[in-house]
Structure 1
Amino acid sequence: MKTLKDCNKACIVKVVKLHAETDLKQRLISFGIMKEAVIEVLEYSTAKSTIEVKVGKMRIALRAKEAQLIEVEQI
């Protein structure tokens, strides 16, 4: 299983499944991060504790532990 945290910078992936609990899952869905969504990895923080991604036209910063709950596949 490949997660969003495993992706390199400039990687473009498609969401396969969200493994988050209900509250976090709803928050991710409100940002457009849901099954079949296309996500581009823009940047990692220095310590790789956060990851900046682009979903549609929106830029979102996720914690590494949140990104680890998003299963993705390369497109």
Structure 2
Amino acid sequence: MLLTELHKGDRAVIKRINADPELKNRLHSFGIIPGEALEVKGCSLARQTMEIDVDGTLIALRKEEAEKIEVEKE
């Protein structure tokens, strides 16, 4: 399942990041790594951006970035 399929309040564990090395490194610097738990805090009306909480850090992601993150819902 992709991160973009989750809704506000959903919790999941990151399984895989299917991105180029540059984006993958950027996401890793925010703590978005396989095995980490996250919670969706909100989405824009058109679902073009998402706000997630990873280990106490709030991170805003564009839809294009969130589509590259595979998760498993808890």
Normalization by structure 1: what TM-score?
0.96
The offset of 1:5, in angstroms, is: 0.4
Q: Between Structure 1 and Structure 2, how many residues are aligned?
A: 74
Q: Unaligned stretches of 5+ in structure 1?
A: none
User: What's the counterpart of residue 40 of structure 1?
Assistant: 39
Q: Please give the per-residue CA displacement for 1:27-56, whole angstroms capped at 9, x wherever unaligned.
A: 000000001010100000111100000001
- 2:70 is paired with a residue whose SS is strand
What percentage of aligned pairs have identical amino acids?
38
Q: Unaligned stretches of 5+ in structure 2?
A: none
CA distance, structure 1, for counterparts of residue 40 and residue 54 of structure 2: 9
CA distance, structure 2, for counterparts of residue 31 and residue 55 of structure 1: 8
* Structure 1 outlier segments of 4+, above 6 Å: none
The amino acid that maps onto 1:37 is: E
CA distance, structure 2, for counterparts of residue 51 and residue 25 of structure 1: 17
